[in-house]
A and B are shown apart, each in its own frame.
Chain A
Amino acid sequence: MASASDTAKLKWVGQRGPRPDGVDKVTGRARFGADISTPGMLVGRVLRSPHPHARIRSIDTSAAEALAGVKAVVTSRDFPDLPSEFVPAGEMLVNYRDVSRNVMAREKVLYEGHPVAAVAATDAAIAKQALALIKVDYEVLPHVLDVVKAMQPDAPLLHEDMYTLGVDPVPAKPSNIAKRVEFACGDIAAGFKAADIVVEHTFTTQPVHQGYIEPHACLANFSEDGSADLWCSTQGHFVVRGHCARLLGMSLSSLRVTASEIGGGFGGKTVVYLEPLALALSRKSGKPVKMAMTRDEVFRATGPAPGASVYVKMGTTKDGRITAAQGELCYQAGAFQGAPIQPGAMCAFAPYDLENVQSVGYDVVVNRPKAAAYRAPGGPIAEFAVESVIDEMAKTIGMDPIEFRLKNAAKEGTRAVYGAKFGPIGLVEGLQAARAHPHYTAPLGPNQGRGIAAGFWFNIGGESCANINVGEDGTVTLMVGTPDIGGSRASLCQQAAEVLGIELHKIRPLIADTSSLGYTFLTGGSRATFASGMAVIEAADDVVRQMRERAAKVWEIPVEAVTWEDGMAKPAGSNAGEFEPLSFADIAKMAGKSGGPLVGKAAINAQGAGPSFGVHMVDVELDRGTGKVSVIRYTVIQDAGKAVHPSYVEGQMQGGAVQGIGWALNEEYIYGEDGKLQNAGFLDYRIPVCSDVPMIDTVIIEVPNPSHRYGVRGVGETPIVPPMAAIANAVENASGVRFTALPMSPPRVLKAITGAALPDAAE
């Protein structure tokens, strides 16, 4: 178990060292999804539905196929009709019947942008021309975009065979409600009776896109022998292999997937869109096919975080003890089921030690792109609601918001409504650090307000492999399977160096392709530094054991008499014999003659991921003339367990906070009455820019996670959970107005604080 004194002796873990892939990224040498080319490659493009909901009567691709330069055209006819089967991938369980239809529409199109056909041609201009020659006969159907409207009995029906799971009795008629989930404990009726104060609100949030700057891109290369190579920008190339093999009817070993450098994912690249299409086109044409999405396609056709309607009711005694908590979360899944209602319902009230809880979730389909994971999927929406209500309860009873949270905070041993008990966690420490921070007591000026909010993410472990190949010169290649989306290569090398006892610069990391390493689950769930880290440590332990064995053979002493210290094999005591230590490089040099090459390996399913709690404090300033809310000061406090590379932990905290600022203040999809997206670009879907935000101060807390040798907890997702509530609480503090709808964009804020609307202001 990691302890403060162990970690004080660490040489590499905890340092801010150079990043192995850094130089290539500042010189433009690093290759992302669209940066690769191969001779003879074709350009692939997708034909997408112009309608949010329609039946496909027929598709005629003959004119496109006849166009000179077009080498292949695919539609749903080129993909098997897969039966309903749920498998875990990324954040959600996916159903292959739905996945295959999302990748290429079959009977119906269910959102504007839904793929109906794809072409591969010798250049982009011909591909574009070919798309225009494909004739699709649509029977346009009424559409529904809003989650509450979609739940009504008379709403347009997306799937004729959708009968709500989780209600008893099973409904007689199909609906757009795929599923209902419920978590409950105690007696909320009694809990509310015991409350002195009860606060309830319904909150509304809009879908928001993960906003990765790199659009999806891939290059597929099929051989006539039925095997294929796929290069793609993804958070999980083994998951891509699994999906594509299923969708194309291939064996896993005949598909080798290489993960390119990835220009952002945040959960949105844990699923497949172009990859099965590129593979199908390559197989059909006999040539490599490169595909990349335009920004417009990214917005119209890839999955955002769901929009939601969330009802929360909580009760507290006058002296600050929460007696009951009730929530009903309705999340938009988009065109196919799978909104993150379970994690949302599970984590909503989990930061607090509560006896009486009822948390219900509804997974609702609407005519929008299928939702995909976005950093702590389900959590930010739920916490926006809960942390807003908590803030209001504290204010109503006249208690300091941090004191109120401390009074109810979950600690080690607290049981959550879903049955798990927390191990050691850092919520209390985070709240105390917030209270002690100078930000908390800094004076505020006119029209300024301060808000705080807490949040967490469960974090996961999962299947992870690592290989360490020792070179004859004592330098090492470290092969891992989790694509590096934020600097994890650096922290993995540091963990390896710590165990091996060699200099960091002697370790070169590589993200291995799917044929070169054992199955490794995707980068997500804040697991790379934790779970790949555990695999790296185990592989390094394996190398060290082998090194000791070689030294023992050479010295003709038992292996138990050989220790490993500072990268050297040493006799354990003077009884063991007077031998000069053998260094890592010495033993590497004699590997061949002393038994064979030195290779360390690990293949694990990491358990024991520790949740990471965060507390955010934000000051805002309100411009009463325009309704603009400016963030003027922001502090993120978060428990990392052990920050292996503090700069990259800070980076996660800052990046997640700014995404949350965008979600709170400006980001939303704007659809017309016709069900078509009006802001499918970065100009009008405006994410925070450099001038929108101040420096984001960070405080890293370290409550070690006992499952990991160095105490590591995943940190990537938690930072997006608190910001919306923190900002809504700050706006309430500045204006007296409690916003229950996001985003708090200038027209909405102006209307709420002045009661007046600007002409043509968006509602």
Chain B
Amino acid sequence: MRRIGNAHARATRSGMARVFLTGNLKQLTGGAAEFDIDAHDVRAVLRALVKLHPVLEPHLEEGIAVAIDGEIFQDAWFAEVRADSEVHIMPRIAGG
């Protein structure tokens, strides 16, 4: 389900980022956990997800971090998402 895909193959398949929901968010979408989304930055990805599943909105507004091709971004609306990026929506990281 989450094996690292071949980025090269994906680029030829579609020009869209592959977005995965982790943790509880899947339960809000009735199980849908993987999406192909055409977006150039984190904010655009989140807005596209909310359009598909409005119930996600409050959860995506606060409390999440985003891993783009593995690298974690938190509160970074304009972090770049490329056509072949793999994006994971995960809970916010914190500390004490």
Contacts and interface: CB of A to CB of B under 8 A. Distances in A.
Please say whether the chains A and B touch (CB closer than 8 A). Answer: yes
Interface of A: 86-88, 90-93, 165-168, 179-183, 185-186, 266-268, 270, 340, 342-343, 346, 372-377, 413, 415, 417-423, 457-463, 524-527, 605, 607-609, 714, 717
Interface in B81-96: 88-96
Residue among B23, B58, B71, B94 with most chain A CB within 10 A: B94
A419 B73 CA distance: 12
Contacts of A605: 75-76
Contacts of A92: 94
Given A181-B23, A607-B79, A524 B94 contact: yes
B88 A526 contact: no
B2 A88 contact: no
B24 A180 contact: yes
B24 A526 contact: no
Contacts of B88: 418-420
Nearest to B61: A86
A86 B2 CA distance: 30
Nearest to B65: A420
A402 B64 CA distance: 34
Interface in B33-81: 58, 62-63, 67, 69-76, 79
Given A88-B62, A165-B24, A420 B94 contact: no
Residue among B4, B73, B96 with most chain A CB within 10 A: B96
Contacts of A717: 95-96
A462 B74 CA distance: 8
B91 A342 contact: yes
Given A93-B63, A420-B71, A185 B96 contact: no
29 contacts: A86-B58, A90-B94, A90-B95, A91-B94, A166-B27, A167-B27, A342-B92, A343-B94, A346-B90, A376-B96, A377-B94, A418-B23, A418-B67, A418-B88, A419-B2, A419-B20, A419-B89, A419-B90, A420-B67, A420-B90, A460-B93, A461-B74, A462-B75, A463-B75, A525-B94, A605-B75, A605-B76, A607-B74, A717-B96
Contact of A458 (B62, B69, B70, B72): B72
A607 B62 contact: no
Contacts of B73: 607
Given A182-B23, A421-B71, A607-B76, A86 B63 contact: yes
A644 B37 CA distance: 42
Contact of B96 (A377, A461, A608, A609): A377
Contact of A346 (B63, B79, B91): B91
Contacts of A422: 70
B95 to A, nearest CB: 3
Contacts of B20: 419
Given A88-B62, A420-B88, A463-B75, 18 more contacts: A86-B63, A87-B62, A93-B92, A166-B27, A182-B24, A183-B22, A268-B96, A343-B91, A373-B94, A413-B70, A415-B70, A419-B2, A419-B89, A422-B70, A458-B95, A525-B95, A527-B95, A717-B96
A270 B91 CA distance: 19
Contacts of B74: 460-462, 607
B9 interface: no
Residue among A93, A342, A413 with most chain B CB within 10 A: A342
Nearest to A610: B72
Contact of A419 (B27, B63, B67, B96): B67
**Chain B residues touching A, majority SS:** loop
B23 A168 contact: no
A167 B27 CA distance: 7
8 closest A-B pairs by CB: A267-B96, A421-B70, A419-B88, A525-B95, A373-B96, A420-B67, A91-B94, A342-B91
Nearest to A716: B95
A181 B24 contact: yes
B95 A460 contact: yes
Given A165-B24, A166-B24, A460-B74, A418 B91 contact: yes
A180 to B, nearest CB: 7
A666 B72 CA distance: 37
B74 to A, nearest CB: 7
A247 B20 CA distance: 37
Contact of B4 (A415, A462, A608): A415
Contacts of B90: 346, 418-420
Nearest to B21: A419
A608 B66 CA distance: 12
B96 A91 contact: yes
A524 B23 contact: no
A270 B96 contact: yes
A608 B75 CA distance: 12
A608 B71 contact: yes
Contact of B93 (A165, A182, A343): A343
Residue among B23, B63, B69, B88 with most chain A CB within 10 A: B23
A415 B94 contact: no
Contacts of B69: 421
Contacts of B62: 86-88, 93
A374 B76 CA distance: 26
Residue among A270, A419, A460 with most chain B CB within 10 A: A419
B96 to A, nearest CB: 2
A579 B1 CA distance: 65
Nearest to A459: B95
